[in-house]
Structure 1
Amino acid sequence: MQRYFLEDPFGPDGSAVISGDDAHHIVKVMRMQQGNRVIAVSGRTAFECVIENLGDRTVTVRKDGDALPDNEMPVPVTIAAGLPKGDKLDLIVQKGTELGMHSLIPFSAERSIVRWDGGKSGKKIARLQKIAKEAAEQSHRSVIPEISGLLDLDGLIGLSGEYDLLLMADEESAKDRSGRPIAGLLENVYHGQKVLAVFGPEGGISREEAERLRQAGFIPVSLGPRILRAETAPLYALAAISSELEGKR
C-alpha cells in the first residue's frame, strides 16, 4: 500500500488533503480511483485511509481504522558524513533512511575532495531531502529523516552537546582493533536518547580530526575487522544499532 506524508494534519472529521507531487503520483502515476486505499502519515502517526475525492493537484482521504504501529528506531541516530565523491551521499541517504537513520549532517572533512559552494549547497540539500522522503515512503517510515545544512568540524563539534552518545568511525582504530564494539556502547542508552555517529570521506578521518573528536567526547567504535568504504560504514553502523536495539524489543 502506498504511503504519503501529509503537509497538514488530519481534520476533526478524520479527513486530510494530499497535494502537490504526491497527489500527481496518486492520480497520474498510480491511477488510483475513489475508494482505493493509501497510508497517510501525520506527525509520525500513520493511518490507513480511503480516497474520497481526486482532483488535478489534490486528493482527499479519510482515516479508516486505528493508528498503525510505529516503525521508528527507539533511539534516534544522526549520521554525520564527511562529504564523499560522486553520488555516494545519495546512497547513504537512501539506504540510511531504509535502515532507520533519523537525520543526516553532511560536513566538510579535511580529506573531502568534494567541496560545496554556497550557491549550489541549497539545491544539493533539497535533492537529498527528496531522496529521504521517497525512501521513507518506500520503507514505511513514520518520519522523514532531516538533511541539515553543510557544517565544518567546528560546527559539528558544537552540536555534540545535544546528543547522549557520541561515536566516530576511525580507520586507525579499525586497523589496531582499539575501537569499542557498538553493542557494548548501547547497553546504557535508553529509549529516546540521541546518538550522533561521525564517518569520514574516502581516506577516513584525519589524525587531527580524530583527536579533536576524542577531546569532544566521541568514542571510536569497531565496525568489524575489515576497512569499509565511506558509503558502507554508516550503513553497517545503522544495521548494527538496529539489530542491537530493535532485536531486543
Structure 2
Amino acid sequence: MQRYFIQNEDVEGDRVVLQGEQAHHIERVMRMSAGDEFICVDENEKAGKFTITSVQAQKVTAQFSETIETCAELPVHVTIAQADIKGDRFEWMLQKATELGAFGFIGFGGKHSVVKWDEKKQDKKLGRYKKIVQEAAEQSERLRLPAVQHVASAKELLLIADRYDVVWVVSEQSGRGTNHHALYEQLEALHLPVSVLAIFGPEGGFSESEFQLFQDAGFASISLGPRILRAETASTALLSMLSYEYEIKR
C-alpha cells in the first residue's frame, strides 16, 4: 500500500490534508479517488491507514481508519558517513542504503574525492538527496525518514562522533596499524539498542592523513571481506550484513 511521510501541520484531528507534490502523486500518479486507502507516517514514526474522502485540485483529504503496528526498522541505528563521490553514485547509495535500513546520512569532503562539494549549490543538492531518501523510505515501508546532511571534511566528523555509541571506519586500509578489529568481533561487542557511525571513503579511498586521524581518535577499523568494493557498494554491503545478523539470523 502506498505510504507517505507527513508533518504535524498536515494533521487535522483524525484527518490528514495533503497538498502539493503528495496530492499530485495521489491524484495524477497513483490515480486514487474517494474510498481508496494509503498509509501515513507522522513525525513520531507512527503509521496509520487513511481512507480518502475528498480529492480536489492539489488537495487530498483522508480519514484515519486504523493504526499500523508493523515496523521495518533495522535494530542497529547506522548512520552512513560517505565521502563525496560522483553524483549518480552517491544518489544510488542513498536510495539503496535507505531501503536497507540506514538511520541517517552524512556526506563529507574526502581528500581523495573526485568531486568537490559546491557550497553555493548545497541547498539544491541536499533537497534532491532528501527527496531520493524519502521516496526510498516510502517504497521500503520505513517508519523513519533518514536525515541527510553534509560536513566539509573528515576532521568535522570528529566533532560529531561523540553522538554515537560506536564509530567504524570501513576501508581496505583496515588491516594496517594496531586499531584493526574484525567485523564479527565488533558485532559480538554490540548491545542493543546501539547507534553506529560508519565512515566510508571516496573512490580513491582515505588519504594516509585521514586514516591516521581516525586511528588517533580511537575509531574501530573494519573490513567487509577480501574483495575491494566500490565506494557506493560498501555501505549497502555493511547494512546487508547487519540485517542478516540482527533480523534474519536471530
What's 1:214 paired with?
A: 215
| Amino acid aligned to 2:23 | A
CA distance in 2, matches of 1:6, 1:206: 41
Distance 1:211 1:133, change over 3 A: same
CA distance in 2, matches of 1:80, 1:13: 38
Q: Would you say 1:2 and 2:2 are equivalent positions?
A: yes
Moved over 6 A (4+): none
Q: CA deviation at 1:215?
A: 1.5
Using structure 1 for the length normalisation, give the TM-score.
0.93
Using structure 2 for the length normalisation, give the TM-score.
0.92
CA distance in 1, matches of 2:34, 2:244: 40
Distance 1:5 1:86, change over 3 A: closer
Q: Would you say 1:195 and 2:196 are equivalent positions?
A: yes
- Structure 2 unmatched ranges of 5 or more: none
**SS at structure 1 position matched to 2:204:** coil
Q: CA deviation at 1:174?
A: 5.4
Are the counterparts in 2 of residues 47 and 64 from structure 1 also a CA contact under 8 Å?
Answer: yes
Q: CA deviation at 1:243?
A: 1.5
What's 2:16 paired with?
A: 16
Write the deviation string for residues 170-203 of structure 1: whole angstroms up to 9, x where unpaired.
Answer: 2122589x85333331233233321000000011
What's 1:36 paired with?
A: 36
Write the deviation string for residues 25-65 of structure 1: whole angstroms up to 9, x where unpaired.
Answer: 00111111101010111121111211111121221122222
CA distance in 2, matches of 1:174, 1:64: 54
CA distance in 2, matches of 1:17, 1:109: 42
- Structure 1 unmatched ranges of 5 or more: none
| Amino acid aligned to 1:24 | H
Distance 1:195 1:22, change over 3 A: same
Q: What is the root-mean-square deviation in Å for CA atoms of aligned residues?
A: 1.9
Distance 1:182 1:62, change over 3 A: farther
Query: Normalized per residue, which structure has more helix?
Result: 2
Q: CA deviation at 1:209?
A: 0.7
Distance 1:93 1:44, change over 3 A: same
Are the counterparts in 2 of residues 77 and 103 from structure 1 also a CA contact under 8 Å?
Answer: yes
Write the deviation string for residues 75-132 of structure 1: whole angstroms up to 9, x where unpaired.
Answer: 2110011111241100110001000011111000110111112111221111111100
Q: Would you say 1:48 and 2:49 are equivalent positions?
A: yes
Are the counterparts in 2 of residues 46 and 68 from structure 1 also a CA contact under 8 Å?
Answer: yes
Are the counterparts in 2 of residues 183 and 241 from structure 1 also a CA contact under 8 Å?
Answer: no
What's 2:111 paired with?
A: 110
What's 1:246 paired with?
A: 247
Are the counterparts in 2 of residues 175 and 225 from structure 1 also a CA contact under 8 Å?
Answer: no
Distance 1:68 1:184, change over 3 A: same
CA distance in 2, matches of 1:181, 1:37: 47
**SS at structure 2 position matched to 1:132:** helix
What's 1:172 paired with?
A: 173
**SS at structure 2 position matched to 1:154:** helix
Q: CA deviation at 1:238?
A: 1.1
**SS at structure 1 position matched to 2:61:** strand
**SS at structure 2 position matched to 1:158:** helix
Identity %: 39
Where does 1:130-141 land on structure 2 (aligned, <5 Å)? 130-141=131-142
Are the counterparts in 1 of residues 10 and 18 from structure 2 also a CA contact under 8 Å?
Answer: no
CA distance in 1, matches of 2:35, 2:192: 39
Are the counterparts in 2 of residues 48 and 68 from structure 1 also a CA contact under 8 Å?
Answer: no
Are the counterparts in 2 of residues 85 and 114 from structure 1 also a CA contact under 8 Å?
Answer: yes
Q: CA deviation at 1:160?
A: 0.6
